[in-house]
Chains A and B, each alone.
Chain A
Amino acid sequence: MDCIELVELITDYLEGTLPHHDRERFNAHLSECPYCVIYVDQMRATLGALGAIPAESISDAAKQTLLHAFREWKRG
């Protein structure tokens, strides 16, 4: 495996859907290529950051409408 192939297989690798043989080739490449190790680390960090995106605050107007709906729903 070379680096240009590795960057295309990374999603299957991280999602656990890479076939066994390719997974071994992927790991073998990582064991001798420090640059691709950085690449994989960056991708993992990116996914970590995406998962850490703070929930954005919702506008007061939208929230009031929803709370109103909730109270209506509660009343049945």
Chain B
Amino acid sequence: MVVNREIDEGSLIARLHDGDESAFVVLVDRYHHAMIRVARGFVRDEATAEDVVQESWLGVLNGLAAFEGRSSLKSWIFAIVINRAKTRATREGRSTPFSSLVSLETSGREAAVAPDRFLDATAKWPGHWAQPPVAGGDDPEARLLRSETMAQLRRIVDDLPPAQRTVITLRDIAGQDAESICNALGVSETNMRVLLHRARSKVRGRLERYLADTEEAARS
């Protein structure tokens, strides 16, 4: 089961209203960890993030009767987490509010790919690849989906700067649309895309290095 496969939210909501425990378990299994990753961008440590998520689930249950389906259930759940995490962060007087993380992580220039992988101005084709990416072997998709690669991918995401990790978790792991992410986080579309771009570029680069290293280790 993956986090962002579309589920039939309508029937799930109906089952929740009926008090069907298995419907609740489906939601928890699917979103709990992604919620912790998101909360982690706001609060000081993992334990607090887990606490915020526990509290958010209660908020979900208590708000369910009033949930009108104007957004998707998923967007609504993540908006609750983000709100509670923000409140908690304020109460704790956390030194860096999310908006400061956003300014910090969108500032300056950051190359998607190390500049030395491109030809310099003295070359015949400046700005073109000097060390191009290499196409994966026979079945690159299967390689990516192996459980070791998945575990590595999770570590790579966890190591991203917090605002970037929050955005990539919401957009690419949980599969939310850009607009609900901007609304829930209170960031502009431009900043959201800069964070997403920096996060995705890092993840691709680190995955590329990991796959090259494991390939080399397998050959030697």
List the interface of chain A (C-beta within 8 A of B).
2-5, 7-8, 10-12, 15, 17, 33, 35-36, 38-39, 41-43, 45-58, 62-63, 65-67, 69-71, 73-74
Q: Taking A45-B140, A50-B157 as contacts, is the C-beta distance between A12 and B193 under 8 angstroms?
A: yes
Q: Which residues of B contact A15 (CB under 8 A)?
A: 178, 193, 196
Q: Which residues of A contact B54 (CB under 8 A)?
A: 62, 65-66, 69
State in angstroms the CA–CA spacing of A11 and B130 once bound together.
Answer: 22
Q: Taking A12-B193, A66-B28 as contacts, is the C-beta distance between A3 and B127 under 8 angstroms?
A: yes
Residue in B closest to A47 when the chains form the complex, CB atoms:
B172
Docked complex: B152-183 residues within 8 A CB-CB of A: 153-154, 157, 168, 172-173, 175, 178
List the interface of chain B (C-beta within 8 A of A).
1-4, 19, 21, 24-25, 28-34, 50, 54, 57-58, 61-62, 111-113, 115, 118, 125-129, 132-136, 140-141, 144-145, 149-150, 153-154, 157, 168, 172-173, 175, 178, 189, 193, 196-197, 200-201, 203-204, 207-208
Q: Are B57 and A46 in contact (CB under 8 A)?
A: no
Q: Which 7 A-B pairs have the closest CB atoms?
A: A2-B127, A35-B132, A11-B197, A50-B172, A74-B19, A56-B33, A73-B61
**Which of these, B28, B128, B157, contacts A3 with CB under 8 Å?**
B128
Q: Are A4 and B208 in contact (CB under 8 A)?
A: no
State in angstroms the CA–CA spacing of A34 and B193 once bound together.
Answer: 26
Q: Shortest Cβ distance from B74 into chain A, in angstroms?
A: 13
**Which of these, B3, B19, B144, B208, contacts A49 with CB under 8 Å?**
B144
State in angstroms the CA–CA spacing of A57 and B28 once bound together.
Answer: 10
Q: Which residues of B contact A35 (CB under 8 A)?
A: 128-129, 132-133
State in angstroms the CA–CA spacing of A74 and B15 once bound together.
Answer: 12
Q: Are B200 and A53 in contact (CB under 8 A)?
A: no
Q: Taking A3-B118, A46-B204 as contacts, is the C-beta distance between A53 and B112 under 8 angstroms?
A: no
Residue in A closest to B128 when the chains form the complex, CB atoms:
A3
